[in-house]
Amino acid sequence: MITLALSKGRIFDDSLPLLAAAGIDVLDDPEKSRKLILATNRPDLRVVLVRASDVPTYVQHGGADLGVAGLDVLLEHGAEDGAGGTGNTGLYRPLDLCIARCRMSVATREDFDYASAVRQGSRIRVATKYTQAARQHFAAKGVHVDLIKLYGSMELAPLTGLADAIVDLVSTGSTLKANRLVEVERIMDISARLVVNAAALKIKREPLRALIDAFEQAVGAQR
Ligand code: ATP
Ligand code: MG
């Protein structure tokens, strides 16, 4: 049995066409059923639904053989392991799936002069869920920041005076706009990656290789 870890929402939705192109149909709709283990049209392949930020944990520890996770999630996960951001031990990252795309950016209130705060070398208070990526970004720029860890609703932080700036994921920019925030710096492009358990890749080499190849072809065809 091969177990594929996905998260509900955009990762699941954007993975479906890639799975279909690889000949895989998921037989349950996660929005309608409460099941956490979903069967597919392939008797040897099942999907497990986990929190987006738990996908690397499941795959790393063998709760799933492979999974789909955002680069944002992988960067924070790698850091938690003390593996320095990207070198997750036991986690093989063969493929950029080019789905669930967005960017990680710095945003502030319209009336905050980010450029001059940076120029003057002021300490900037930055609220974010992505403390690792943010720390690296500002360190590389030589900007002094006090990082405040949040788990959601980052947009609220500059509006309440909790922080001067946020580091968050932006796709259309409409959430920022609705909260009268402006994107002042792009940090990196984000997309979802296929991650594979390295030990599983040895033990179930052939079916996993075939699956990775099928995903690779599907990604190429969608471009
Ligand atoms: P949870 O909602 O369970 O706390 P999450 O917010 O990380 O977790 P989703 O909102 O489903 O889960 O996002 C999953 C992934 O989709 C993110 O990790 C990111 O890689 C990607 N993504 C693409 N666009 C956006 C966006 N505008 N906002 C947030 N995530 C996005
Ligand atoms: Mg979310």
Determine if ligand 1 sits within 6 Å of the CB of residue 88. no
Q: Whose CA is nearest to atom 7 of ligand 1?
A: 52
Q: What is the pLDDT of residue 86?
A: 45
pLDDT category, 223, cuts 50, 70, 90?
A: confident
State CA 202 to chain mean position distance: 26
Cα–Cα nearest to 164, from 218, 222, 120? 120
Q: Which fold has domain 102-189?
A: D-Maltodextrin-Binding Protein; domain 2 (3.40.190)
The predicted model scores a pTM of: 0.94
Q: Which ligand is nearest to the CA of 174?
A: 1
Bridge partners of 181, per DSSP, are 109
> What is the mean predicted confidence (pLDDT) over 130-134?
97
Q: What is the pLDDT of residue 85?
A: 39
- Mean pLDDT over each residue of the chain, to the nearest integer: 94
> What is the mean predicted confidence (pLDDT) over 170-187?
98
Q: What is the pLDDT of residue 29?
A: 92
pLDDT category, 81, cuts 50, 70, 90?
A: low
Q: What is the pLDDT of residue 82?
A: 45
Assess whether pLDDT exceeds 80 at residue 83.
no
Q: What is the pLDDT of residue 214?
A: 96
Cα–Cα nearest to 208, from 193, 220, 196? 196
Mind listing the pLDDT tens digit for each residue in 95-119? 999 999 999 999 999 999 999 999 9
Dig out the tokens for 125 from the structure: 């208070």
Determine if ligand 1 sits within 6 Å of the CB of residue 24. no
Determine if ligand 1 sits within 6 Å of the CB of residue 54. no
What percentage of the chain has pLDDT greater than the value 90? 91
Assess whether pLDDT exceeds 70 at residue 84.
no
Domain ranges within the chain, ordered by starting residue: 2-101+191-222, 102-189
Fold: same for 2-101+191-222 and 102-189: yes
Assess whether pLDDT exceeds 80 at residue 176.
yes
**Ligand 1 probe mutation, 7, 36, 193, most atoms within 8 A of CB:** 7
What percentage of the chain has pLDDT greater than the value 70? 96
Q: What is the pLDDT of residue 2?
A: 98
121 Cα to the center of ligand 2, angstroms? 33
Is residue 191 a contact partner of residue 97, using CB atoms and an 8 Å limit? yes
Among 19-33, 76-90, 124-138, 176-190, which stretch is predicted with the lowest mean pLDDT?
A: 76-90
Determine if ligand 1 sits within 6 Å of the CB of residue 78. no
Mind listing the pLDDT tens digit for each residue in 200-221? 999 999 999 999 999 999 999 9
Determine if ligand 1 sits within 6 Å of the CB of residue 76. no
Cα–Cα nearest to 69, from 103, 39, 40, 100? 100
Domain 2-101+191-222 classification at class level? alpha beta
> In Å, what is the CA distance from 45 to each residue of 3, 41, 57, 64?
6, 8, 19, 11
